[in-house]
Amino acid sequence: MRILVTGGAGFIGSAVVRFLVELPGVSVINVDKMTYAGSAESLSVLDQRGDYVWEHVDICEPESLDAVFREHKPDMVINLAAETHVDRSIDDSAAFIRTNVQGTHVLLEASLRHWQAMDARRRNAFRFLQVSTDEVYGALGPTGRFTESTPYAPNSPYAASKAGADHLVRAWCRTYGLPVLITNCSNNYGPWQHPEKLIPQSIIHGLRGCPIPVYGGGENVRDWLFVEDHAEALTLVLTQGRVGATYNIGGAQEWRNLDVVREICSLLDEAVPKSYRHSELIKFVADRPGHDFRYAVSSDRIRGELAWQPRTGFKEGLRKTVDWYLRNQDWWGLSDRVAFGHGGAQRGDVDVRERGAH
């Protein structure tokens, strides 16, 4: 089975690629244009494998994408190519509309042409999986969870761009019969995540003795999902999910942002003790515009239909993540990985307006 993964050098994408290539009879075509968030190092362990190939292609370029389909003739497609950082979408939404909406449209058209040209057996087995986010649903109050029937109500340019992409995918199924599936996941974390995101940013700032920025009072709540658990869930949906269905994928681990950062500080106190407690570095900063209070998804459908459940508790996964960043300082220490979009982080001298505290 040949699976085409777009955005396979990204944080979630690379975890999915690493998971897929270990399955018997599976080969992976990674289509990634390598933006700032892509990491070739995250897939370097696959460089010598015959069941993995990387195509340096932008999904917004129809001719290049068609050439990939003609050469590799994939049996399935997973779309993980996306601009993902909410703060960047607030500052400059154009790239999000281009990749997340236009790029999904180009990919759908290429997939449709490829699917229509298949013989009947391969057509019946083909699947297109759109990987989306719980942010398309908007915000929750202190109780309740998003379900697959929750109406879309995106509140940021990023969330709106992903919602638009999801609607395109659903329309290509209803209008043209393309066999699609959609997943909406909660906040991912784990190794290889770009330092602009809350957890790696907090770890890195703590290691450098820099102020650790937290939006508002840190009361916003997120449901956390370990990225390797997510990769397993996506594979199950791709291979066993119902065509046309949406599956919410959550970690069932809700934490306030402030408590997440405090837990990271406790782990750093243990791993790299200093003359001060790392929690003393926490710096509250002006809240993000339109900051959704809480996200949480019900995973009842994927648990019931596909017998999936997360394997990794948040404290366990966070410890693994902190350990990984401690062991891989050469990776995140490169100048292009610590720019955070706001001038970079220097030891002991951080602009606390930096965004990334989700």
DSSP alpha helix (H) spans, 86-226: 86-91, 94-96, 104-116, 120-125, 157-176, 198-208
Residue 176: active-site member: no
Question: Active-site residue among 32, 55, 87, 135?
Answer: 135
Residue 52: active-site member: no
CB 157 within 8 A of CB 165: no
Question: Active-site residue among 134, 223, 229, 354?
Answer: 134
Helices 227-240/11-20 angle, 10° precision = 60
Identify the residue whose tokens are 């648990």: 303
Sheet with 246-249: strands ordered across: 52-55, 27-31, 2-6, 76-79, 127-133, 180-185, 246-249
Return all residues near 54 (Cβ < 8 A) that are at least 6 apart: 8, 9, 30, 32, 43
Cα first-last separation, the chain = 37
Return all residues near 61 (Cβ < 8 A) that are at least 6 apart: 106
CB 23 within 8 A of CB 93: no
Q: Is the dihedral of CA 118, 122, 125, 126 positive or negative?
A: negative
Q: How far apart are CA 100 and CA 205, in angstroms?
A: 30
Question: Active-site residue among 32, 55, 83, 158?
Answer: 158
Residue 135: active-site member: yes
Active-site amino acid positions: 134-135, 158
